[in-house]
Amino acid sequence: MATIFLPFDLNRDFLHTPSYKKRLEKDLDKISASLDKSKRTIELLQRSVYSTALKLESQFKKLRIEAAQELEKDLERIDYLVKSEDTQIK
């Protein structure tokens, strides 16, 4: 696969030497290890983002419930004020 980036006029006999094959294997092992590390990092980041999303969703739900309760209390206060003003006018 890596040979596709080599120029066409290059003598490709060196590709079959043992030292080249060992170097290529080492390079591939390094790349593989790097990819595994990157994959693990991404998996951990995904877990962190998912966990944070769940926490935020829970907090949002809690705040929404609190806001609804506060609105209900405000409506009761407004209703009380309007009724008390009506009784004073009469």
Residue ranges covered by each domain of the chain: 17-89
Q: Which residues contact 12 (CB under 8 A, 6 or more apart)?
A: 3, 6
**What percent of the chain has a predicted confidence (pLDDT) above 70?**
81
Range of weakest confidence among 9-18, 45-54, 74-83: 9-18
Instruction: Give the single-character DSSP code of 1.
Output: -
**Statement: residue 30 has pLDDT above 60:** yes
Return the pLDDT at 11.
61
Does pTM top 0.85 for this prediction? no
pLDDT mean over 51-72: 97
Sign of the alpha-carbon torsion through 23, 27, 28, 29: positive
Q: What is the pLDDT of residue 84?
A: 86
The pLDDT of residue 46 is: 98
